[in-house]
Amino acid sequence: MKVCTDSCIFGAWTANLNLQVNSCLEIGAGTGLLSLMYVQNNNNCIIDALEIEENACVQATENFNNSEWKERLNLICTDAKNYNSNKKYDLIFANPPFFQNDLLSYEKQKNLAKHNEGLRLSDLLNIIQKHLQPTGSFCLMLPPERALYFKNLAKRNSFFLTEKLVIKNKADEKIFREMVLYGQSEVSLIENELTIKEENDEYTNEFKQLLKDYYLQF
């Protein structure tokens, strides 16, 4: 699995949220990117990261072990639906499957990562409910149509959208991703927009500012 720009944005955005967090759970770690980005900017946090696909587990474990934060990173190779720990987390984050109705890839690993074949949004919400502290929050990255569907699903289960960042590739293009933060109390929604590139294909200043701790060229 390649590292995508939208995943980097999500990782940086999540890592810079103004939250008091000592324990995190990542659902679907992949290469471990999001956990690594979070732990880099949050010195007091210990992260458990779940991953179902064996090859991804090997890669994430290697990445964790080669990082300076390896003592605070724990990769668990398991289906998140079968994770039975009684531990409760301050923050849960995931880049979940979202191509619900698209044609399935011939590669099983990509289907697990990108489609709802392995983990539906309703399953994800059940996992979050099981493992989140009563005062905890969770973050997801979704396409706009799936974000709207999830917002209604979450509200029916007493989770409320508290912060949202919408992403465009360029200013005149459509929103293609939403980064969303949910809590368990209804508050005024904070909304922001991020454009990745200028018309000349240079990165915008706002993108550079968000990613400066992670992109070497900034």
Say if residue 7's pLDDT is above 90.
yes
Confidence band, pLDDT 50/70/90 cuts, at residue 119: confident
Task: Please check the confidence at residue 190 and state whether its pLDDT lies above 90.
Answer: yes
Look at residue 85 in the predicted model and tell me its pLDDT. Answer: 94
**Taking a C-beta distance cutoff of 8 angstroms, is the pair 164, 148 a contact?**
no
Q: What is the pLDDT of residue 3?
A: 81
Percentage of the chain beyond pLDDT 90 is 85
Distance separating alpha carbons of residues 150 and 180, to the nearest angstrom: 10
User: Contact at 8 Å (CB) between 166 and 141?
Assistant: no
In this prediction, residue 105 carries a pLDDT of 40
pLDDT in tens, 193-214: 999 999 999 999 999 999 999 9
Give how far Cα 106 sits from Cα of 110, 111, 167, 172, Å.
8, 8, 29, 34
Q: How many CA atoms lie within 13 A of 113 on its CB side?
A: 19
Query: What pLDDT, in 10s, does the model give residues 162-171?
Result: 999 999 999 9
Instruction: Report pLDDT for 118.
Output: 55
Residues 212, 207: Cα–Cα separation, whole Å: 8
Whole-number pLDDT of residue 115? 33
| Superfamily the domain 5-211 falls into | Vaccinia Virus protein VP39 (3.40.50.150)
pTM over 0.85: yes
* Rounded Cα distance, 141 and 12, in Å: 12
Mean pLDDT calculated for residue range 28-39: 96
Domains of the chain, by residue range, sit at: 5-211
